[in-house]
Amino acid sequence: MSQLLPPHGGKGLVCCLLEGAELEAEKKKAEGLKKIDISNLVKGDLIMMGIGGFSPLNGFMTKADWKGVCENFLMADGTFWPVPVTLDTNDEEVKEGDEVALVNGGEIYATMKVTEKYEMTEADKKWEAEKVYKGEGEDSQGDFMAKAMEDHPGVQIVMARGKYNLAGPVKVLSEGEYPTKYAGVYQRPAEARKIFEERGWKEVAALQLRNPMHRSHEHLAKIAVDVCDGVYIHSLVGNLKPGDIPAEVRVKCIDALVKGYFVEDKVVQGGYPLDMRYAGPREGLLHATFRQNYGVSRMIIGRDHAGVGDFYGMFEAQTIFDKIPHPEEPGKALLCTPLKIDWTFYCSKCDGMASLRTCPHGKEDRVLLSGTKLRKGLSEGTPIPDHFGRDEVLEILREYYANLEDKVEIKTHKAADGQ
């Protein structure tokens, strides 16, 4: 009997990925269906539904689901869910009752039975953007949409979507490039659960990574190891925004850290196939929701989790967990809880890693650690302060940047600069 948290939704792992003869038959059928092009973000959502990462979802959301999630964090059946999972299109001809094939880059990823087609006006998209992406930070004040259309990649994605959303159950036919490109890192929830169970873990903490692992990340992971049975360093291997460091480089950095600075049987490294939404607090909730499906009980939430610019308060992704609904019906509430950790940094006077709760010294004594600052310094070739990252990691990153032909300007924000 597993000691891990059950998957979210009360239905076990809901996996839409076909296998064997059923898969081959559906692939042949898909060739003759009407084709709908999907974005990379939707592709990642599909794969997560395929492998059970988005349990209990078995398809794209209806208008009632979309509205409930945006407004109240609840789908139409009362299940907690923090961000809409929708499929957009500009196709005028597809209609309710149709069966379609979902295509990205020429590959068919799934088939879908269209149970609902609903229009998304500009006002609808703006409403979604404001409900899901607007935070308490400085950039969210005043004319939020004007600022967001200039500097918020998540809002830009929402506003660029098609005229309609299609809802309905899916049959997933492919996991794309992930099983081969990230062999040994990319994991299905059932695979992660098996590893945790074999190790006898009950309390598992997850560390979300989209940046290379610096000393602050290392410190967070070690706090988690101290208070839980083990830590799951879970990296996003989907698409990021321009200027972010690709997954294969980040994985090499994690490997170097784990081998050199962790007790290896207390750490599991994995990867998942989503694109970042940059939804800040809401995305922190999403990270906890799908980590529960992987068997995780505690989601590490630090400073500006999944944030962008200054749209969110530094610890808004922590406090949002205290504001969400908790449905009473078994399985429908979020069970994965946050492991809230204050801003961490290296302090020269403390002579080690510390946090705002443990360090009495001033900013002049602290090396403020930020993935954004690290990327900016490496991209511009400026010196990286002592204690910012481990030498083995910085060596990997410097090699990456030395061979990078097209560099993107990295903008820092106030939190990264200690303001």
CATH superfamily for domain 20-176: Sulfate adenylyltransferase (3.10.400.10)
Residues 220, 227: Cα–Cα separation, whole Å: 11
Selected catalytic residue, list 161, 188, 193, 210: 210
Instruction: Please count the helices (runs of H) and the strands (runs of E) in the chain.
Output: 14, 15
Q: What value does the mean pLDDT of the chain take?
A: 92
pLDDT band at 25 (very low <50, low <70, confident <90, very high): very high
Q: Give the start-to-end residue ranges of the domains of the chain.
A: 20-176, 184-276+342-402
Q: What is the mean pLDDT of residues 88-98?
A: 98
Residues 414, 304: Cα–Cα separation, whole Å: 11
Residues 303, 307: Cα–Cα separation, whole Å: 9
Selected catalytic residue, list 104, 165, 211, 293: 211
Residues 313, 371: Cα–Cα separation, whole Å: 17
Residues 40, 102: Cα–Cα separation, whole Å: 11
pLDDT band at 409 (very low <50, low <70, confident <90, very high): low
Catalytic residue list contains 211: yes
With beta carbons less than 8 A apart as the criterion, state whether 213 and 188 touch.
Answer: no
Catalytic residue list contains 298: no
Give the pair of three-digit tokens for residue 46. Answer: 């599909």
What digits encode the pLDDT tens for the residues 295-334? 999 999 988 898 899 999 999 999 999 999 999 999 999 9
- Other CB atoms within a 10 A radius of the CB of residue 411 amount to 12
**pTM of the entire structure?**
0.92
Domain 184-276+342-402, CATH among 1.10.287.110, 1.20.1260.10, 1.10.8.50, 3.40.50.620: 3.40.50.620
The identity of residue 97, as a single letter, is G
What digits encode the pLDDT tens for the residues 174-202? 999 999 999 989 999 999 999 999 999 99
Q: Give the three-class secondary structure for 5.
A: coil
What digits encode the pLDDT tens for the residues 37-53? 999 999 999 999 999 99
Q: Percent of the chain, pLDDT > 70?
A: 94
Residues 400, 404: Cα–Cα separation, whole Å: 6
Residues 166, 60: Cα–Cα separation, whole Å: 7
How far is C-alpha 118 from the geometric centre of its chain's CA atoms? 27
Residues 119, 163: Cα–Cα separation, whole Å: 6
